[in-house]
Amino acid sequence: MSQSKSGKGLGAAARVTALASSVMDLHVRIALQEVDREKRRLISGGIFLAMGGALMLLALLAFEIASVFWMQETFTLNLLNCLLILSLINIILAGLSLRIGGQLLKGPYLPETIEGLSKTTKAVLGKTYQ
């Protein structure tokens, strides 16, 4: 009698294990499909951001050229003076942007982040770490 009870117990355990395995397989398949979908979304988003950035750069270039022509006509300046003024404005804006960006990147980091950054920096610079 104890033999039949243990046989039934093993059969039930096998069925529960098979059911759990089946559920896990289903979850893994669903997770892989979601990763595929998200990967496509992220790649598409990156492509559109790159296109937007390139088009914005072209628009900025066109604006700068138009600004040079406008400055020449309005203030009767020669080309060299217009380009120098525009370059000075660009340098000031770039400096402000770098300063603000540097301040935003400062802050409390998790120890894991600091460790990862230091390892990456050492690897890029060719230094070995212990």
* 52-85 residue pLDDT tens: 999 999 999 999 999 999 999 999 999 999 999 9
Residue 130 has pLDDT above 60, yes or no: no
Identity at 47, one-letter amino acid code = I
pLDDT at 6: 55
Between 108 and 36, the more confident residue is 36
Between 50 and 8, the more confident residue is 50
Structure tokens at 75: 């203030």
pLDDT tier for residue 28 given thresholds of 50, 70 and 90: confident
pLDDT at 81: 96
Q: What is the pTM of this model?
A: 0.56
Residue 4 has pLDDT above 60, yes or no: no
Dihedral sign for Cα atoms in the order 100, 102, 107, 113: positive
Percentage of the chain surpassing pLDDT 70? 88
Identity at 88, one-letter amino acid code = L
Identity at 102, one-letter amino acid code = G
